[in-house]
Structure 1
């Protein structure tokens, strides 16, 4: 789930003329596809490696991931970044669990001032927030509606340690239209056996949400430049110049010397096998796995000073894609997003890949994704990271849990990412073990074939 880039942009971006997108032709019999992309409003450069300081504590707890349902498809990363283009023209393990008939969403269990809560894990945002006891549910027109409509899990029944931070609140808007507002304060937060004393988090007092009636908030794992705290107590404030960056949970664990400076994720189609490790590796056998790594990139966003020189999202550039008998080459920025269900490719590339299903998949405007017969044969599909291709299991390329009741067809794992940047969501991430190493400034990948 990626944050809404409109919160990160100033008026200078909106006045820019759109650059030309070079579309991929659809050759009927070509065995090699070559394409390139121009992204208005974005520049990319590598993250500077940090000096690794060894932690003074290593916790060897293991928690599984959980697969949970949501009431709508999660495509926040593509909604967010596509909107920008349209406007321009060793340590511890946590179980990750999630799915509904539209989307995949993974959750973890954390404790806030001694009170356990189940929250969504999100590599595309940075804030940690939980539902407050006074939460008000609102619709897209900002009208108050029954709390049950938002589908949040139980409310947090405790309080901030020492009360909320004076004259500070948070306002976060996700790319799929969901949003949350509320107070900011300090709590002792425990995750996977690691406790951060006095961690800054948010208690949501109102918002628009389409949840699963189980999770009560979000744990953001992205960089501090994407945190959403603001000066003042006006919950409707939306001014980037009032923002107050702070250290989110993972960053605090690193800076406090509690873990090594990386986290590693091993999603799985079977939720009982998935896990996340903070400062270490999940308990996954990687002896027969392929391996490669690639730099984390900074999205240099115009008129947003700190995201122009500080890392924000886990952005990479794959060397290409392999599908059927075709191969792509070219440099496309992709966001690694645990809270996005599908793989979002450039439009014409998505068309070419979906056309290679047998029978071919067709785009559904009702769902915003492609559908084909549920017994269709998917093409082979792999993502090339540097010199290594990581293949996606055919089971993940055809989601039989997402069925159109009118046609009886099933959703494919490949969709249209508009003009990008694009997204490698759960369809891809369930096929790799991925480590976000902020010390080296690189993302490491291992093939995860046996799960």
Structure 2
């Protein structure tokens, strides 16, 4: 059954091919790193999907290197699963895209969950000038930042409030060893209200066994935040087009006219020749047994796994000009979805986001999948999510990527640990993504090993649902 969807809340125009991995740096104060150039004339093969949208075409990110993939276990670090109070806003791609929909007159959609308190974030340790810090790992943003020693927690009206409200972990007790960058500030606003501001500067950063000297990162001096009392910032792994440095001393000014792109941590690792151009993540269900590898594979057995790959595509999904012609998020187009004996034929762009819990599908598809639960799940408007009996039987559900279907374990499709106190029902792992963009979050990522290969311009998957 082909699904019909109108992207009336998004700007999708004809997209231009990727030329550089690292953008030209507008600020002389930011060091110019070597870029990975890949110039080619356009061919019909560069257009990979019509996406059922007349007049629109998406292009794939061009390959940057032909280096063969090293699938040995190397340069990895454990993930730490930390609880998160889901009654508070989240800064995931789900929150951001919901905000995009609302800003265009749509209803948006709720982030992650409105009720299930089992929701979690995944944290990693990174070293800043030799100091170990716990950070949320986020494939849906590009900046890496830590809170400074004099961080000021702000309320919704920019008033100073108790640090307990922000619930951040220990502050970074040092300074920029390479100095703050003059006339540049850091200001980021995540979806649903969270934001941080501070300075951008340089220091040595080590992550997963790879050290970047004089890396640009931010030390946050203030912000509106809702943390988990463990992590002290964000480690962003997305493309440079999503960085948030700006000209001037007004830390509140994040106008795109003042934007100063810079090379984020993973990009610096690649351009500096410190690692191969890919990172790989293997999440673990309800535990801290997962890991992430830079330039290699996590210590997970893939000898019996199914494997496939699909291109990273360029899609203008947020109000930022550079994302219409440069890669930004790790965006793919699944071939199909299979559930309850049904195979869909629609093609839509999906973000892979390590900081979003659920799978956000087009409305018709979300309704059909939730209708296949036994008993069927119902949409509860007060939560903006689907719920069913906590002893319900989930349908089979798989995401087809290339020629391979990656199945989601039924354990990930229904949370039996927490219940809505009003209805005594449990939330499903499949949510309504409204007008998009759509998201494959932790519910899906727990069931695969995902390699973000910016070198080949592809994302590779290995099945991982039974462990």
- Classify the TM-score, shorter chain: 0.7 to 0.9
Residues 1:75 and 1:318: Cα distance change in structure 2 (over 3 Å): farther
1:41 aligns with 2:57: no
1:228 aligns with 2:244: yes
Contact 2:340 2:397 in 1 (8 A): yes
Aligned length in residues: 407
Residues 1:257 and 1:306: Cα distance change in structure 2 (over 3 Å): same
Deviation track 1:300-347 (CA, whole Å, cap 9, x = no partner) reads: 369744222211110011111111122211111100000000000112
Q: Gaps spanning 5+ residues in structure 2: where?
A: 14-57, 106-115
Equivalent of 2:78 in 48, 54, 64:
64
Residues 1:213 and 1:301: Cα distance change in structure 2 (over 3 Å): closer
Equivalent of 1:318 in 297, 320, 334:
334
- Provide the residue aligned with 1:216 in structure 2: 232
Q: After TM superposition, give the deviation of residue 77 of structure 1 in Å.
A: 2.0
- Provide the residue aligned with 1:198 in structure 2: 214
> 1:254 & 1:54 partners in 2: Cα distance?
15
Residues 1:75 and 1:172: Cα distance change in structure 2 (over 3 Å): closer
Deviation track 1:203-240 (CA, whole Å, cap 9, x = no partner) reads: 11111111110000000000001000001111110210
> 2:317 & 2:395 partners in 1: Cα distance?
36
**Structure 2 length-normalised TM:** 0.83
The DSSP-based 3-state class of the residue aligned with 1:63 is strand
RMSD: 2.0
> 1:77 & 1:59 partners in 2: Cα distance?
29
- Provide the residue aligned with 1:434 in structure 2: 450
> 2:390 & 2:85 partners in 1: Cα distance?
22
> 2:341 & 2:428 partners in 1: Cα distance?
19
Contact 2:91 2:190 in 1 (8 A): no
More strand as a share of residues: 1
The DSSP-based 3-state class of the residue aligned with 1:124 is coil
Q: After TM superposition, give the deviation of residue 88 of structure 1 in Å.
A: 4.0
Equivalent of 1:395 in 389, 396, 411:
411
The DSSP-based 3-state class of the residue aligned with 1:444 is strand
> 2:317 & 2:300 partners in 1: Cα distance?
37
- Provide the residue aligned with 2:64 in structure 1: 50
> 2:67 & 2:246 partners in 1: Cα distance?
30
Contact 1:82 1:419 in 2 (8 A): no
Residues 1:41 and 1:172: Cα distance change in structure 2 (over 3 Å): same
Residues 1:275 and 1:71: Cα distance change in structure 2 (over 3 Å): same
Written as runs of structure 1 = structure 2, the 5 A alignment for 1:1-400 is: 33-39=1-7, 40-43=10-13, 44-52=58-66, 60-72=74-86, 74=90, 76-88=92-104, 101-300=117-316, 304-400=320-416
- Larger deviation, residues 388-397 vs 138-147: 138-147
- Larger deviation, residues 229-238 vs 62-71: 62-71
Q: After TM superposition, give the deviation of residue 85 of structure 1 in Å.
A: 4.0
Q: After TM superposition, give the deviation of residue 162 of structure 1 in Å.
A: 3.5
Q: Gaps spanning 5+ residues in structure 1: where?
A: 1-32, 90-99
> 2:191 & 2:358 partners in 1: Cα distance?
15
Contact 2:74 2:293 in 1 (8 A): no
Contact 2:76 2:294 in 1 (8 A): no
> 1:88 & 1:395 partners in 2: Cα distance?
36
Q: After TM superposition, give the deviation of residue 38 of structure 1 in Å.
A: 3.2
The DSSP-based 3-state class of the residue aligned with 1:108 is strand
Q: After TM superposition, give the deviation of residue 357 of structure 1 in Å.
A: 1.2
The DSSP-based 3-state class of the residue aligned with 1:367 is coil
Contact 2:127 2:206 in 1 (8 A): yes
The DSSP-based 3-state class of the residue aligned with 2:95 is helix
